[in-house]
Amino acid sequence: MTTHITAIGSGKGGTGKTLISVSLAYALAHQGERVLLCDADLGLANAAVHLGVGETGDLAGLLAGTRTLKDAVVRVASGPRASFDLLAAPSGSGALANASEAQIQKLIAALESAQGYDRVLVDLGAGVDNSVMTVAARADETLLVLTPDPASLTDAYAFAKLLLRRTTTRMPQALVNMALNATEGRRVADALIGSANAFLKAAPDYLGYVPFDARVPEAVRRQGPLLSLFPQSPASAAIEGIARKLHGAGTPVAAVGLR
Ligand SMILES: Nc1ncnc2c1ncn2[C@@H]1O[C@H](COP(=O)(O)OP(=O)(O)OP(=O)(O)O)[C@@H](O)[C@H]1O
Ligand SMILES: [Mg+2]
């Protein structure tokens, strides 16, 4: 059996991919899933920075073939009763910036055959280059993060188009980050869905939105998980709702304390 892979991409940089990847890992672990978070931002990995953990695991070692997946991950506590595994490389190490096609394939194979996990979350990093789209196309589902910034819409459309070209049938699920409110979230998603319907004859589903929330940059500055530092914040609540949708198609799960 292969592990369910959820990839998070956007095309454009700075849309909130890492925030959402890290927060979903955190929330899904609390909802009882056994999660592996892979920071596949091969240029500028920073999931560990968002989490405030010193250990990143050894993604470079896995790609070089000197480590197995089991030896390359580190465990991250997400509260007294929940944890998930992280597979990354130190931020700014540059070790992975020029990963070869063979190394990308090795990473995908390792993630697909990862034992002991219900889900692998992959932070794809920015761009729509070959490595990003190769991983996106092999994932079971792809979350496409966009924001009200018009440039993000253009890049999200390019991402959806390339994913469709590689898979012939698959569309990503649209997640609007930094929206002012539900109306703006819907409007931004509809703009993407409209263009995709018109030109690609297929459209992403709308997964939901995460509001613009001053607690997010504060959590990033404090280098701690948003859901741990500010569990009551609007962005935390929205991400938990999205995690519940992913986990059980909208079925509420028994709440577990986040501290
Ligand atoms: N919902 C939000 N409300 C307010 N600020 C946010 C929100 N989401 C993300 N940010 C801010 O946007 C910045 C970029 O977030 P993040 O690093 O998660 O984006 P990214 O898509 O991973 O970027 P990159 O493409 O560089 O990897 C961060 O400084 C974060 O604080
Ligand atoms: Mg990032």
Q: Give the count of domains, the chain.
A: 1
Structural domain of residue 207, as residue ranges? 4-248
Q: Whose CA is nearest to atom 27 of ligand 1?
A: 125
41 CB near ligand 1 (under 6 Å): yes
What sign results for the dihedral spanned by CA atoms 135, 136, 142, 145?
positive
If we measure between CA atoms, which residue out of 147, 161, 149 comes closest to residue 211?
Answer: 147
For residue range 22-70, list pLDDT tens digits in order: 999 999 999 999 999 999 887 676 888 888 888 899 998 998 889 999 9
212 CB near ligand 1 (under 6 Å): yes
Residue 258 has pLDDT above 60, yes or no: no
Burial 27-39 (b: 16+ CB within 10 A, else e): bbbbbebebbbbb
The whole-angstrom separation of Cα 8 and Cα 141 is 9
If we measure between CA atoms, which residue out of 105, 188, 196 comes closest to residue 152?
Answer: 188
The mean pLDDT value for 215-240 works out to 95
For residue range 71-92, list pLDDT tens digits in order: 999 999 877 778 999 999 876 6
Mean pLDDT taken over the chain: 90
pLDDT at residue number 81: 75
Identify the CATH number of the domain in which residue 169 sits.
3.40.50.300
pLDDT at residue number 70: 94
93 within some domain = yes
Residue 93 has pLDDT above 70, yes or no: no
257 within some domain = no
Question: What pTM, to 2 d.p., does this model score?
Answer: 0.93
57 within some domain = yes
Question: What is the enclosing helix (H) or strand (E) of 197?
Answer: helix 182-200
Question: What is the enclosing helix (H) or strand (E) of 146?
Answer: strand 141-146
Q: Could you list which residues have their CB under 5 Å from ion ligand 2?
A: 17-18
Banded model confidence at residue 3, pLDDT cuts 50, 70, 90: confident
DSSP one-letter code for 206: E
The mean pLDDT value for 153-171 works out to 96
